[in-house]
Amino acid sequence: MSRGNLFVISAPSGAGKSTILKKLLVAVDNLAFSVSHTTRAPRPGESDGREYHFVDRATFEGMRTDQAFLEWAEVHGNLYGTSRAAIEEQQAKGIDVFLDIDVQGAHQLREQRIQGAIFLFIAPPSWGELERRLRGRGTDPEETVQLRLNNARQEMQDAGRYDYLVINDQLDEAVDVLRAVVIAERCKGRRSPNGQPIDWEKVKG
């Protein structure tokens, strides 16, 4: 069984990463979303175990001490981390895993030189549109919006370090681009476009 890839995806808050990923997970087989742990409070409509595992600071710090995280970072004043065990289980089953993590977390994974990790950066079509989307989402108070906009300037500086850059202008086009990347990376790893291993003996004849 060939191992699944690890797609590491970052974007400034409000660029549309969660929206794109939700559509991608429906459109592509054998793909899983890595559910991070966070100390942030759930937004309206979010549920524990789906968007995040919502934990208190003491629980998060306990997991960190136990080396349970592949990477972790403090983002916009909250702690976020990727569980090592959950990722490993999916990849071992040949499933590609998407990590929605910030630029600091992506940097940590690049340093770890993890095999099969592919880095994607999603950017909004313009600064004005990013601001509109952040406010339009209507889930964050104004001071949180300001904090996220300030951080976005810094995060955008990192875009050049990623393998792929995707501009999220038209949503469906951005989803198509991501789908194309997933399929191309599967073919690079000698797997079929749907993620299944290729029976090479049968192909060779």
Binder of residue 110, out of ligand 5GP, ligand ADP, none (CB less than 5 to 8 A by kind): none
10 counts as binding ligand ADP under rule CB under 6 A: no
Out of 16, 81, 124, 195, point to the residue binding ligand 5GP (CB under 6 A). 81
Min dist CB 23 to ligand 5GP, Å, is 17
2 counts as binding ligand 5GP under rule CB under 6 A: no
Residue carrying the six token digits 């949503």: 171
Instruction: Looking at residues 4 to 63 of the shown chain, list those that interact with ligand 5GP (rule: CB under 6 A).
Output: 13, 36, 40
Q: Residues with Cβ < 8 Å from 122, sequence gap 6 or more? A: 9, 10, 11, 15, 16, 17, 20, 166, 167, 168, 174
Residue count of the chain: 205
Binder of residue 15, out of ligand 5GP, ligand ADP, none (CB less than 5 to 8 A by kind): ligand ADP
Instruction: Looking at residues 108 to 167 of the shown chain, list those that interact with ligand ADP (rule: CB under 6 A).
Output: 133, 136-137
Min dist CB 205 to ligand ADP, Å, is 46
Question: Which letter does DSSP use for residue 159 in this model?
Answer: G
Which one, of 153, 90, 83, lies nearest residue 124 by Cα? 153
* Alpha-carbon distances, residue 193 vs 29, 96, 189 (angstroms): 9, 12, 10
How far apart CA 162 and CA 124 sit, in angstroms, is 15
# chain residues binding ligand ADP, by CB under 6 A: 13
Q: Which is nearer to ligand 5GP, 28 or 70 (by Cβ)?
A: 70
